[in-house]
């Protein structure tokens, strides 16, 4: 199957608003867990997950942390302007960005933009009892671009400035930003979301949306996983607002995937190699990162001197003819060969973490290379995340899974219930 020709209308199902979970359950691990195991569908509580994972297997989790990415400014005319921070522009590196003092540039989406034609927006805030003035202004794409990083579509380059050089950008966001809960919840962010819309293992600031499959994990579940001898490792994919971007084109080839920043430590690559380049992925963000690693490895095999900027994975790269074929043997490169190439590249460059971006789309017709089991929530109709699931379990099976969930009162989307998929 050529995924470019997929009709998104074929990936629809009825989802009443009443089935969308507006809030999480009081206890994260009391949510339902659908079990799809080689064609059979059943369910249990999420806290039973550890017993469903093979002993001595590998579980990979996304440790990104959602930032307070939504900022509001009021013009002198009274118009309210929302500036939604998507991803860093200058500096591009997330860690450096949050340490910035004085000014920084982000790629942003501007709400009510028609009311902000020109000039700066200004608001007074307080950081640790210290008053300061925060302002923002549009800048050119040329002023914002750094290296060969792809420019987010529909985004605007915004320079933020503040008049206290002892205050970092991380402190500014914490003082005046708002947590960006998904738009389909149709409600304002509440104080409880600051806790419930983060995984218990979130560490690395940068996402504008939570990796929601991880929201069900508790310290109790993690301890049970450890007791079963299941190895855990973490990587980072900072989820962009594009995760909510609807597919508006009739065919998938007309949909442009968002680019997302990924970071994979050497320890994760080594863990994957210890486990035969196979794992259980927690969430579609981990899936996208892990499967991107295969194609990053191929890039390095073809160009051993590649820089991190050379390793960006394009949307349709996995489907290009002969992408994974060795010119020497005519056979496909294995996942182990791809991961070993990454590890060797990291050793040559003496770096402990692989950092790059991916735009990969996973849809029916895709061949999985590393992920063998997926833990994931239930996704919106006609979404790229639903295509990813269909590619994993099969064309008819995804319908069986979603029909079962609807018939058994599962709660859907970010704060909803979970599933483990074993094809």
Question: What is the residue-wise DSSP string for 71-100?
Answer: EEEE-TTS-EEEEEEEEEEES-SHHHHHH-
**CATH assignment at residue 113:** 2.40.10
Does 183 map to a domain?
no
Q: What is the number of domains present in the chain? A: 2
CB 34 within 8 A of CB 401: yes
Q: What are phi and psi of 199, to 5 degrees?
A: -75, 155
Neighbour tally for 203: CB within 10 Å? 10
Query: SS3 helix, strand, coil % of the chain, rounded to 5?
Result: 35, 30, 40
**83 shares a domain with 56:** no
- The three-class DSSP label of residue 260 is strand
Last residue of a domain, one of 178, 203, 227: 178
Helices 284-302 and 335-349, packing angle to 10 deg: 70
In a domain, 390, yes or no: yes
Is the pTM above the cut of 0.85?
Answer: yes
Q: To which residue do tokens 């402190």 refer?
A: 171
397: containing domain: 3-65+195-422
Q: Are 71 and 82 in contact (CB under 8 A)?
A: yes
The answer on 373 and 255 residing in a single domain is yes
Query: Are both 74 and 60 inside the same structural domain?
Result: no
The first and second tokens of residue 238, run together, are 């900072």
| Spatial separation of the C-alpha atoms in residues 416 and 257, rounded to whole Å | 24
**Domain check: are 353 and 374 in the same one?**
yes
Residue with tokens 């020709």: 5
- pLDDT recorded at residue 321: 67
Tell me the C-alpha to C-alpha distance, in Å, between residue 41 and each of 30, 37, 222, 377: 19, 7, 24, 15
Q: Is residue 235 part of a domain?
A: yes
* Per-residue pLDDT, 314: 95
136, 267: one domain: no
So what's the pLDDT on residue 152?
65
What distance in Å separates the CA atoms of residue 28 and residue 78, rounded to the nearest whole number?
Answer: 41
The answer to whether 330 touches 227, Cβ cutoff 8 Å, is no
- CATH classification at residue 208: 3.40.1780.10
Residues 172, 203 within the same domain: no
- Is 136 found in the same domain as 58? no
Q: What pLDDT sits at residue 117?
A: 85
Q: For residues 44 and 375, give the distance between their C-alpha atoms in angstroms, rounded to a whole number.
A: 14
Two tokens, residue 58: 């590998």
Specify the pLDDT at position 356.
Answer: 95
Indicate whether 164 and 241 sit together in one domain. no
Judge whether 140 lies within some domain.
Answer: yes
Residue 147, pLDDT score: 56
Q: Going from the first residue of the chain to its last (423 residues), give the mean pLDDT of each consecutive group of 10, the final group possibly shorter.
A: 91 96 97 96 98 97 97 92 93 93 94 90 93 94 66 82 94 95 93 97 95 98 97 95 81 91 97 98 98 97 93 94 71 94 97 96 96 98 97 96 98 98 96
217 vs 189: CA distance, rounded Å: 22
Ramachandran assignment for 234, one of left (phi > 0), alpha (psi -120 to 50 degrees), beta (any other):
beta
Which of 145, 178, 211 marks a domain boundary?
178
273/207 same-domain check: yes
CA distances from 311 to 199, 300, 305, 367 (A): 28, 8, 11, 20
Q: Among residues 178, 206, 232, which one ends one of the domains?
A: 178
Q: What is the pLDDT of residue 322?
A: 64
Copy the structure tokens of residue 191: 């104080």
Contact between residue 211 and residue 197 where contact means Cβ atoms under 8 Å apart: no
186 domain residue, yes or no: no
The owner of tokens 């470019």 is: 4
Taking the C-alpha atoms of residue 16 and residue 365, their distance in angstroms, rounded to an integer, is 29
- Kindly report the backbone phi and psi dihedral angles of residue 180, in degrees, each rounded to the nearest multiple of 5, phi listed first: -90, 85
Q: Which residue has the tokens 């259980």?
A: 280
Identify whether residues 156 and 299 lie together within a single domain: no
Q: Are residues 201 and 334 in the same domain?
A: yes
Backbone angles phi, psi at 91, to 5 degrees: -75, 155
* Tens-digit pLDDT profile for residues 120-149: 999 999 998 889 999 999 998 777 676 555
Do 209 and 182 contact (CB within 8 A), yes or no? yes
Whether 413 maps to a domain, the answer reads: yes
Same-domain pairing of 37 and 118: no
């Amino acid at each position: 199957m050529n995924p470019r020709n997929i009709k998104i209308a074929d990936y629809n199902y009825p989802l009443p608003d009443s089935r969308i979970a507006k809030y999480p359950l009081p206890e994260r691990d009391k949510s339902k867990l659908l079990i799809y195991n080689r064609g059979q569908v059943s369910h249990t509580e999420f806290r039973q997950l550890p017993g469903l994972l093979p002993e001595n297997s590998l579980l990979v989790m996304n440790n990104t942390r959602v930032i307070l990415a939504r900022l509001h400014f009021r013009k002198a005319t009274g118009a309210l302007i929302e500036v939604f921070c998507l991803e860093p522009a200058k500096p591009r590196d997330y860690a450096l960005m949050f340490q910035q003092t004085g000014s920084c540039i982000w790629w942003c989406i501007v709400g009510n933009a028609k009311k902000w034609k020109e000039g700066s927006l200004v608001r007074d805030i307080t950081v640790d009892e210290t008053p300061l003035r925060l302002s923002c202004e549009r800048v050119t794409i040329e002023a914002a671009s750094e290296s060969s990083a792809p420019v987010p579509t529909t985004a605007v380059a915004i320079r933020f400035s503040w008049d206290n050089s002892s205050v970092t950008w991380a402190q500014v966001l914490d003082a005046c930003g708002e947590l960006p809960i998904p738009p389909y919840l149709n409600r304002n962010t509440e104080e409880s979301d600051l806790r419930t819309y983060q995984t218990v293992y979130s560490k690395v600031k940068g996402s504008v949306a939570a990796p929601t499959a991880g929201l069900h994990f508790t310290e109790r579940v993690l301890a049970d996983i450890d007791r079963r001898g299941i190895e855990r490792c973490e990587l980072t994919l900072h989820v962009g607002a594009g995760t909510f971007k609807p597919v508006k084109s009739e065919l998938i080839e007309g949909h442009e995937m968002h680019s997302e920043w990924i970071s994979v430590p050497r320890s994760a690559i080594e863990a994957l190699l210890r486990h035969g380049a196979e794992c259980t992925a927690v969430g579609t963000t981990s899936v996208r990162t892990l499967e991107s690693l295969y194609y990053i490895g191929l890039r390095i095999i073809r160009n051993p001197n590649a820089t991190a900027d050379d390793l960006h994975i394009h949307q349709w790269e996995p489907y290009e003819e002969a992408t994974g074929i060795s010119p020497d043997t005519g056979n496909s490169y294995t996942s182990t060969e791809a991961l070993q190439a990454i590890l060797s590249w990291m050793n040559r460059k003496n770096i402990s973490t692989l950092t790059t971006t991916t735009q990969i789309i996973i849809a029916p017709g895709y061949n999985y290379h590393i992920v063998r089991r997926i833990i994931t929530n239930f996704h919106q109709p006609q979404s790229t995340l639903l295509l990813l699931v269909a590619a994993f379990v099969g064309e008819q099976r995804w319908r069986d899974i979603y029909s079962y969930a609807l018939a058994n009162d599962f709660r859907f989307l970010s704060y909803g219930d979970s599933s483990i998929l074993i094809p």
